[in-house]
Each structure stands twice: as structure tokens, then as C-alpha cells.
Amino acid sequence: MVQVTELGYIGLGVKNLADWRDFAATVLALEVVEEDGAGRCTFRMDYWRHRFLVEEDGSDDLNFLGFRVAGQDEFRQMATQLTDAGVVVRVGSPAEADERRVLEIMKLNDASGYPIEIFHGPQIQADKPFHPGRRMHGGFKTGDGGLGHLIQRETVGFEKTYEFYKLLGMRGGVEYRIPVPGQPRPVELMFLHCNSRDHTIAFGPPGVKRINHLMIEVEAMDDVGLAYEIVRRRGIAVAMAPGRHANDHMYSFYFMNPSGWMCEIGWGARAASHQSEYYQRDSYGHEAVGGVMKGVMETVSVAAE
């Protein structure tokens, strides 16, 4: 069985590209690169030509995820693996691969019907070191762990969702069972990994948007502190205060982006564990701040009924 090796890139749809350009550079510290044609740009965070493909399409949501496989042999095996399991896979044209700056690409939908792409051979710009959009103490931690992790909505239940992502070679399970006062059942969150990162994709929180949050990891703890100060000074809503997660040990905080979903900046995570275990809360911190998460938590309570 072949496996995806990392989340290589993501496609975002936004309502206001100017706001996102500014947010990406001056808050997230990403490198903004202009694209030919109005209403598009890309963000870099390492030597990759792009990690984010951003389009002003009005959706303010996640458009697609790009998962990498090691090479052309794995690419062909993955197409067979998915097709044999009954998944409809379309191998993209050379023009579609060029559009993403990869050697080959296939397009499909996950169990909930959300577009994903599987590719090999991303363009790496070894001659163009990452240039952060603002000062940083260190860089972004990508490497074998890919660009970061995200929590995504699912609409078919954990079992079917896991069955699909297992076809991509992912592994994981429920890592949080959070008791909700007055509710008979805890809220469960499911986390899946495909490399050393504890989770690349996770599921569970209710929400209307496909994406709940995106986490990008920094190499220096001081970059979490610096980002927190910038967010606070600019009056950007903090959604969860600094704290440490019990599952991936990430020290992080959450804040709102111009599209109304959350970004997480984290540091110090541990590697994925092969053995399953669950937690009822985080190590410390991460409390909902300023009422931003209040509506979300009310939805959690309703969803747990």
C-alpha cells in the first residue's frame, strides 16, 4: 500500500485578497508572491514555490488540499489503489499539473465530497530562500511534516471518513473526548497522520465552513510570543489563549483570519505516536477568549445531544 507523505499545499478561496495579502505577510509572516492575472496570489513558507494558492472567489473557505506522494511509481500505485476501492479519480492534464507547478496531479473528492489533489514532484526553488513577510526569530517547521495541519468538517461520520483517508495511507483515531456540561456524550475529535507530524488532518468540531483552523509551526518559541503580541496589538480576535495541546504537545494560540476561520501558530510539538490514547482536556491553557469561541461551543453542545 502506498501512502501520501505530507500535506504539500492548500487552496484557499477568499472574499478580500488585499486583506489576506496584508494578514499573511504582517501577521503570519508568510511570503506573498503575486500571480499573473487579477485576484490570485501565492504564499511561501520555505523553499517550495508555493504552499498556499489563494483566489479571490468570495468563498472564504478551503478550496482544496494537495497531498504529496513520493514519486511517479507511488503516484500510479495510488491511482490504482483508490480506483480499486471504488473512488473516482481523474488524472489531471499536463496543463493542470503545470498550474500547480507539480510533475503530475490527480483530482478526486474525499468521503464528504470535498476536493483533494494528489501530486508528486513539486517545484522547489532552491535559489530562492524564504523571505518572511515580517521579522521572525526562526523559520517555519515544514520538512517531512509538510506545511502544517488542519481541522476539516466531515459530513458522513468518523468511520466513513477514516475509511477514506486510510486509502491515502493515513492512520489515527479519536484523541479527545471532551465532556460537555449537561450533555450525555462527550465531543470527540479524530486526528490522522501520514508522517512524523502528530496529525495532518483532523475532524470533529461542528461548523458551516469546510475548514475549522489551519496550524503552521514555527522553529522558535519566541515566534509564538511575537505573533501573539502582533495579533493583540492589531486588535485581531484571539479565539483560544496560549496553551499546550495534550495530543501533539503543541504550544500554540488561535486567532481569527480575514475569512472568519481560525489560524493557529504553534511550536514544540512531539512526533506522532503509533499507539492510540485519548484526552479530556489540554495540558494547560487554550481557554476560549473574549466570546469568540462562545458560539462555537454552543454549537458543540447542540451537536453532542
Binding site for Fe ion (CB under 5 A): 215, 264
Min separation Cβ 45 and Fe ion, Å: 16
Q: Which three cell numbers stand for residue 180?
A: 460537555
In whole angstroms, give the CA distance from residue 165 to residue 150: 14
Q: Which residue is nearest to Fe ion (CB)?
A: 215
Min separation Cβ 32 and Fe ion, Å: 23
Q: In terms of CB distance, is 10 or 105 closer to Fe ion?
A: 10
Complete DSSP assignment for 118-150: EEEEE-B-TTS----SS--SS-B--GGG-S-EE
In whole angstroms, give the CA distance from residue 206 to residue 187: 10
Burial 111-128 (b: 16+ CB within 10 A, else e): bbebebbbbbbbeeeeee
Q: In terms of CB distance, is 4 or 269 closer to Fe ion?
A: 269
Q: In terms of CB distance, is 168 or 215 closer to Fe ion?
A: 215
CA–chain centroid gap for 162, Å, is: 17
Min separation Cβ 223 and Fe ion, Å: 16
Min separation Cβ 264 and Fe ion, Å: 5
Strands 262-267 and 40-44: unpaired
Min separation Cβ 259 and Fe ion, Å: 17
Q: In terms of CB distance, is 39 or 173 closer to Fe ion?
A: 173
Q: In terms of CB distance, is 89 or 221 closer to Fe ion?
A: 221
